Structure 1
């Protein structure tokens, strides 16, 4: 065992991260397939449990067999455990436990955690890790308490509290799983508690932990100096946030507003979605759909009934996903933002890529562009393969499902359970890659020669355009 651990420590960091997720998926699929984890009426086989485990650890929400009709109370507890491990990461949780008992994490382990959490340095690492676990638990407790206001009277104390906890953990970790049935949250389309608590949890989970702590520092400053008297002071404190936090907050805000506006524009008079609702209900349902696109996977409308325009627009928002270093997946808001800023700079003929009076590093911008291109190419490959095995399915629904898987969103037009096992296997790989990120996967798989140096040759020119 000591030899295995020593060899594991010598492996590249991306491989450690990938193996930690793969190990959780495998063990989770075994636990879910146990008789005590399933209902007597369960029709799931091992493939269904494996698919579910991948989706849970990848915090996606797609399934071949619904949780409510497959898993017992013990099985649903395992589902929550897999979602938690997937949202925060096995390495993060294990490190937090080790630190809590007063033991140190090696420098090598800190570097692994740094990459797993997309953190740029290892300053105050013990405080950072323990704070993540502490605050996520606190937020989930508050969310579950508020949700229980509705579910306890509806289901009773035991089932009501458990349903509240289940939905809260799933929402905060941007997983999109529910234990209510096959229609996600459609029965609660106009419920004010669901339409408020779930989106707030999704946003908090999707912003990223580094943004949390940056906002927390500014909030402490406001309390300490009582500097919240007017709009100008709040704006000044917002400007004191670091560049990453401001970019993430700005893009998250406008993505939600944009998706909400386009959804209402397309579905306003559609009787199958929001056409028959009151003005207030139309706004809250539209807000919910706009937020869930940040890779959460819950839905309060039937996505199979959406207008084609809405379906296509939603794929763009799902592709973008949440923000780095949090529980969300997708190409990430900051990554797509950098690619857009680069495009804008090229169109305007600028030699530097600038944002908010800062010149961005070339390697960061190049990395962002590579991730976006990788996501596009991988989605193209996945869609192409699925059309081979399930060519009878309309292309727009395959496109939607593939983007949902790669973005670890989990929204579905009721397609995944009906696909062939081959296509479902493609969806599994898409979810896994989408959660870890294509850069992590390809860095781990690349057979890099450490002795090879970055060689620069004579400059060459190629015509483009």
Structure 2
């Protein structure tokens, strides 16, 4: 007992969080290798890749889920997605609360770090609200989608397909049991709106949703919530219009659709990279400018303390506003009547630098191990880091080493750049300052 407590004190929250994800991946790999989990035998590499993709809520797949996994295997996949999306610590605390156990300060710290918060106060209450919110949203969405799909697929399949895709969508996973993902439903507004709403809400972040729920007025929202809502709306509109114009005449995607379906498909493909991974048009058939723009969206990602990854929308907005402020001669950037701290600027710069370094390093390794063109490889790496799941169709063609590299990128993308940084270096605050001097830049 004393030894266990000693290790718990010595292990930092980033190590615990990363270790939990790693254990989930290993456990998922072992379950997916069971004979009852697959229709035919799969390799250990493919089982590990699939477990990693599900646990990190990515959605990249090396085989067709619907024809390879049995119902048992699909349920294992869904469990990994739900645990990976909300966090293992959230479920662990929920189980402790269910049995009336006391939640210690150490577990509260783990929850705080899992959701990237500043204080441990109210963490247990937030976990309770998060679980209630998730169950309510998923139940409502499953009901609505079932009403639409039961007449098409029948009672059993209609409810099952709805449950699978709702959980996958809300957790921003992008896994589908349909061979062509959601391409058959490209012109279906009900499927498009329900599933896209799920990964938009899931990508906002739980604390943003709670802030909106508790404070009905925009004026009373926190700066983070205001940035997430305005940034999400603005980016989604810009992305929809951009993809609509770029793909308008592409007969391999939306060129032959009616104007209404073109808008619907463009909207879905605009919000999916943040970071859901579903697609209603063939990703590999998109124009190169559209693919490059999608890579940017995947890099930006969703919100902090959400089921999404990427550098996060607020990080991107802070860097943009800081750049604008510099050119306007403003020493401290401000937004919505609030000044952004220098600490936040440095944090955003660190996140972006570590993220780009991870992507470039991984892409460099893949160009050595794979005989695949650079552009599809780059798209795959951006998708893996953003835990998106969109692909140009090369995932299954990767070598075993290539798959392991992509697994590492998915893992890094899910635990977050700063968690990765804390694992590599133990930060400490300096108690002294050096004299200033001039450095020429630009």
1:244 maps onto 2:242 in alignment: no
Contact kept, 8 Å, 2:166 with 2:198, in 1: the verdict is yes
TM-score, length-scaled by structure 2: 0.97
- From the superposition, tell whether residues 35 and 4 of structure 1 become closer, same or farther in structure 2 (CA, over 3 Å): farther
Compare 375-384 and 313-322 and name the one that shifted more.
Answer: 375-384
Q: Alpha-carbon deviation of 1:100? A: 2.9
SS of the aligned residue for 2:380 comes to helix
Give distance in 2, aligned partners of 1:64 and 1:5: 41
Give distance in 2, aligned partners of 1:284 and 1:461: 53
1:311 maps onto 2:291 in alignment: yes
Give distance in 1, aligned partners of 2:311 and 2:426: 24
1:464 maps onto 2:441 in alignment: yes
Give distance in 1, aligned partners of 2:244 and 2:41: 39
Give distance in 2, aligned partners of 1:296 and 1:54: 16
Q: Please list every run of 5 or more consecutive structure 1 residues that lacks an aligned counterpart in the other structure.
A: 220-236
SS of the aligned residue for 2:68 comes to coil
1:33 corresponding residue in structure 2: 33
1:418 maps onto 2:415 in alignment: no
Give distance in 2, aligned partners of 1:177 and 1:2: 43
Give distance in 2, aligned partners of 1:454 and 1:33: 52
2:204 corresponding residue in structure 1: 207
2:10 corresponding residue in structure 1: 10
Root-mean-square deviation (CA, aligned residues, Å) is: 1.5
Q: Alpha-carbon deviation of 1:464? A: 1.5
Contact kept, 8 Å, 2:265 with 2:280, in 1: the verdict is yes
Quick one: which of 48, 51, 54 aligns to 1:50?
Answer: 48
Give distance in 2, aligned partners of 1:185 and 1:65: 16
Q: Alpha-carbon deviation of 1:92? A: 1.1
1:145 corresponding residue in structure 2: 143
2:327 corresponding residue in structure 1: 347
Give distance in 1, aligned partners of 2:361 and 2:160: 40
Q: 1:237-263, CA deviations, whole angstroms, 9 ceiling, x for partnerless residues?
A: 212211110000011111111110110
TM-score, length-scaled by structure 1: 0.92
Q: Please list every run of 5 or more consecutive structure 2 residues that lacks an aligned counterpart in the other structure.
A: none
2:357 corresponding residue in structure 1: 377
Contact kept, 8 Å, 1:44 with 1:65, in 2: the verdict is no
Q: Alpha-carbon deviation of 1:161? A: 0.9
1:135 maps onto 2:133 in alignment: yes
Contact kept, 8 Å, 1:100 with 1:130, in 2: the verdict is no
1:358 corresponding residue in structure 2: 338
After the TM superposition, which segments of 4 or more aligned residues of structure 1 sit over 6 Å from their partners? Answer: none
1:78 corresponding residue in structure 2: 76
- From the superposition, tell whether residues 337 and 276 of structure 1 become closer, same or farther in structure 2 (CA, over 3 Å): same
- From the superposition, tell whether residues 398 and 277 of structure 1 become closer, same or farther in structure 2 (CA, over 3 Å): same
Q: Alpha-carbon deviation of 1:59? A: 0.4
SS of the aligned residue for 2:66 comes to coil
1:437 corresponding residue in structure 2: 416
Q: Alpha-carbon deviation of 1:447? A: 4.8
What is the total number of aligned residue pairs between the two structures? 442
1:259 corresponding residue in structure 2: 239
1:387 corresponding residue in structure 2: 367
1:117 corresponding residue in structure 2: 115
2:187 corresponding residue in structure 1: 190
Q: 1:140-192, CA deviations, whole angstroms, 9 ceiling, x for partnerless residues?
A: 111111111232222222222111100000000000001122x2111111112
Give distance in 2, aligned partners of 1:352 and 1:192: 44
